Amino acid sequence: MYKDFFVGTAIQIAIIITILITSCSRNDTDSYENKYLEIPDSSFEAILIEHGIDSDGVLNQRMLRKDASEVSVLDLNFSSEGVISDLTGIEGFVGLRKLSVMQHELVSIDLSSNTLLDTLYLAGNFISSIDVSNNPNLILLDVQSNQLSAINGLSKAAHLRELNLSFNELEEFSIENETLEILKISNNLLHSFDVKRSINLKNILLTTNELTSVDFGKNVKLETLLISDNKIQNIDLEHNTGLTHLYISSNSLTDLNVGSNQELIDLKVDRNPNLNCIRIESGQNIPNVSISEYQELNTSCE
């Protein structure tokens, strides 16, 4: 009987010890994860050390979460510490308002935890898609010179003013954002483009794409429209009365009427082989005009 008692007691003690060890191990793991961020990219960590952000000053693939949470501006550009290919750990920088990671080798990026971001520069990487649905405070987003074929969440950026998507691989683009004023999306592969629901656009850079038609009828605040080097056959600018700069060279226009655009000060319409006459209104003066030798501005175009 005593033997059974001691065996039973020993088993109970063993169970209790196992529970305690497991609990302690779990607590240690939780404590580690709460205290540290994993930073697997050595160049990323080296730059953080260089800037005095990673306070232990040692390349050990980790940093204190507290250090990261206190950073509001993070500039990772052009460092002698090498190129960054993995930005894992950026999720711990929850106080970030400005992030700049230009001229590196990122192929993807997850900024869903960086909800306070208002300024984001990612130019010169290899990113193929990006989702900014969790970045509603963005004011400026620059993702030029990547390999973007998709961008999501722009309608959630309720304060967005400037967007740069030039030199990417976008084939289609549509945006519904009533705060956007400046859009740069040149040197893509666009054959479809819709900004009708971005009614406060003032400046559009859309050169060097594959567009055959465009519609800016709802964009009545447009001031600058640069749309040269496409395949545009016709364009209606009747409602864009505030337009000051129109560059529409190297397209496939057959007619063009700028009579409604009395604020025009700079017009480039050369190298449209099938466009001989550009219609203006009587008395309309456009200070700077670039046309081919076979073209003319006239109040009456047959």
Q: What is the per-residue pLDDT across 248-297, written as a single tens digit (0 to 9) for each?
A: 999 999 999 999 999 999 999 999 999 999 999 999 999 999 999 999 99
Segment 226-252, tens digit of pLDDT = 999 999 999 999 999 999 999 999 999
What was the pLDDT predicted at 298?
96
Nearest residue to 278 (alpha-carbon basis) of 270, 216, 220, 227: 270
Contact (Cβ atoms closer than 8 angstroms) between residue 141 and residue 162: yes
- Which residues in the chain show pLDDT less than 70? 1-30, 32-33
What was the pLDDT predicted at 8?
55
What was the pLDDT predicted at 5?
44
Alpha carbons 54 and 42: distance in angstroms, whole number: 12
Alpha carbons 21 and 34: distance in angstroms, whole number: 20
What was the pLDDT predicted at 65?
96
What was the pLDDT predicted at 7?
46
What was the pLDDT predicted at 80?
80
Alpha carbons 215 and 217: distance in angstroms, whole number: 6
Alpha carbons 166 and 187: distance in angstroms, whole number: 6
* Fold (CATH) for 68-298: 3.80.10
Alpha carbons 257 and 237: distance in angstroms, whole number: 8
Distances (CA, A) of 245 to 158, 264, 265: 28, 6, 6
| Residue in the block written with tokens 């666009």 | 190
What was the pLDDT predicted at 2?
47
